[in-house]
Structure 1
């Protein structure tokens, strides 16, 4: 890897490290935090669903920011928005606020994340191409998973321990502080290279253009469309399972106040993510097609959730959680590389945001539905149902595979494009 590409990768990995560390302070205790604020299971997962509603509403408008103002601007707006809304979440917990306020602030949290979705990934791919990187995208995304796994382990363990020795609100305060530090870091080192924002159109016209391009390069291209249509089922179930495992593990453990055990769930997933990220390029090499790896991981993930829901032993649940996290981590870089190689540079952030929108739609409907199932039949029953729901997305992945897109069997990144004449120097 040449020095310019190495610098791009370092910045990308640092941003991932900081973002994940900030987020993971609360990942291990988020459900317990909401329940402690007086919400029911249904209301807690409905609050999470409103978060994904915010992502659905704002994906396209924030895509305009990334593709017309710049990917750096989009990232900076995301960090400051998430810092403020995280502080508001903490205040709602202090006040034991009614559900309607949780819904409103959750939508605003979704706004913060939409500034990230697509923008940072698009920045990376374009900057690597500009820097004449010729390695595989799976390798870079795999390293990203390793870094985020380490950050997730550190943050989730610390968050659980800090919550236990102080209270459930302190990890949220720490998250807001780290996000502010990231804002300063990105403002200094992040530059839009290999990409020139199109600022010729006004905001309304730009929004229409972004939507049109999302359809043209996303939904109208069958190989991309079917991957997007599978996203709601995998993402919706994944969102639910991640948060439901916190109280479910405490239930199996037998101590509802052992917050460090809840943090253990996120920590185990993080270690599985590190292993998956390291091995993703090698495992990808075992399959002729990228879609085969993604489909296989989806089937294993669904089966593990069903077995996890039927299980009643705490330590066996821990082992199953490790398997679930590992296959999820292996599939991620392969899916990312597959999508990125099918999308033109000029529309990359737009289409990736559109893909994120589809994933968020699954969270809007599947999370509260499974939360209601947990209220009626317990967390185990809801996980079994979630595993079955995830299987619905597999026929779409098979349909994408049947399109025989060149990106499906490519083992190396596409030929790098020449530097743009008006792109800033590194």
Structure 2
């Protein structure tokens, strides 16, 4: 890796570290926070579903910002929007607001995250290519996931400890403060390199153009289309499991106010991100096809969720969930690299945002459905149903493989799509 590429990587890792740290302060206690505000399981996961509704609604419009005004501008707007909507969440908790207020602010939270989705990854890939980097994308993306895991580990544990020492609202205020600091960091360090924004005087026309580019570069391209069609099942279930871990583990532990244990649940996923990010490029050296990795991780992680239905011991459930998280995390950089190697630079942020939209769309349906399953039959049954839903993604990954894209066997030395 040359000096210019190394500098790009450092900025990317810094942004990933700060952004994930800010977000993760509440990840370990978010579901408990919603339940403490008086919401039922159905309402809590419905609020999370409205968050994903916001991501679905705004992915394409914020794609206009990323491709038309720059990935840096998109990131800066994301920090401001997310900080403001997080503070509103705190106020809703303070005043025990009714469900529909939670739904509305959750949509705003989704808007905040759509400014990030696709934009940072597209910024990284274009900047690396511009700097002359010729290595495999799994290497840098894997490092990013490892850094994200470290930040999530620190933030989620700290959030749980802070909540237990003070109350469930304080971690939300800490998140706001870190996001404000990240705005300053990104303003100083992040600059669009290897990409020239194409501004339009007509936002609606630009939105239509972005949507068309998403379809042309994504859904009309068979190997990309099938990976996108798998996303609602993998992402929808993954989001639910992450947030269901908190009350599920507390239930097994036997103390509903052990918020540090809830933080441990998020820390578990964070640790898995570190291990998975380290494993991804090593797995790729052993496995010829990226889709082989994706199919294997999908099936194994789904089976683990089904096995959890028969587990009543806290420490055994914790071990199984750790294994589920590691397996899932090991496939993430491989999937990212696979998609990026099939997308042209001009459409990169747009198509990646549309891919995120597909995953979010799955979360809109899956989260309240599995939340209702938890209300009726308990968390173990809802996790097992989630595992069964996740398996539906495997045939779509296989269909992508059958298109025989060059990206499936790409390795170090293969450049991203131009």
Q: TM-score under structure 2 normalisation?
A: 0.99
Equivalences for residues 2-401 of structure 1 within 5 A:
2-401=2-401
Shift of 1:198: 0.6
CA 1:211 to 1:255, structure 2 compared with 1: closer, same or farther past 3 Å? same
The answer as to whether partners of 2:294 and 2:331 remain within 8 angstroms in 1 is yes
Q: CA separation in 2, counterparts of 1:417 and 1:215?
A: 17
The answer as to whether partners of 2:17 and 2:151 remain within 8 angstroms in 1 is yes
Deviations 1:22-74 (A, max 9, x none): 11111110000000000000000000000000000000000000001100000
Deviations 1:172-225 (A, max 9, x none): 000010000000110111100000001145211111110111010100000000
| Mean CA deviation greater in 264-273 or 74-83 | 264-273
Q: CA separation in 2, counterparts of 1:227 and 1:27?
A: 27
Deviations 1:354-395 (A, max 9, x none): 000000001000000000000000001100100000001111
Shift of 1:145: 1.0
SS at match of 1:26: coil
| Mean CA deviation greater in 404-413 or 59-68 | 404-413
SS at match of 1:97: coil
Shift of 1:413: 5.1
SS at match of 2:298: helix
Shift of 1:309: 2.5
- 1:423 is matched with which residue? none
The answer as to whether partners of 2:345 and 2:417 remain within 8 angstroms in 1 is no
The answer as to whether partners of 2:142 and 2:280 remain within 8 angstroms in 1 is yes
* RMSD between superposed Cα atoms in Å: 1.0
| Mean CA deviation greater in 55-64 or 270-279 | 270-279
The answer as to whether partners of 1:129 and 1:417 remain within 8 angstroms in 2 is no
SS at match of 1:96: coil
Aligned length: 418
Shift of 1:79: 0.4
Where structure 2 has 5 or more consecutive residues not aligned to the other structure, the ranges are none
Q: CA separation in 1, counterparts of 2:409 and 2:340?
A: 13
The answer as to whether partners of 2:135 and 2:415 remain within 8 angstroms in 1 is no
Q: CA separation in 1, counterparts of 2:263 and 2:416?
A: 42
The answer as to whether partners of 1:137 and 1:413 remain within 8 angstroms in 2 is no
Q: TM-score under structure 1 normalisation?
A: 0.97
SS at match of 2:75: helix
Deviations 1:121-162 (A, max 9, x none): 000000000000111100001001110111111011110000
Deviations 1:210-259 (A, max 9, x none): 01110101000000000000000000000000000100000000111100
The answer as to whether partners of 2:342 and 2:416 remain within 8 angstroms in 1 is no
Deviations 1:257-287 (A, max 9, x none): 1000111111111111111111110012221
Q: CA separation in 1, counterparts of 2:36 and 2:178?
A: 24
- 1:422 is matched with which residue? none
| Mean CA deviation greater in 194-203 or 276-285 | 194-203
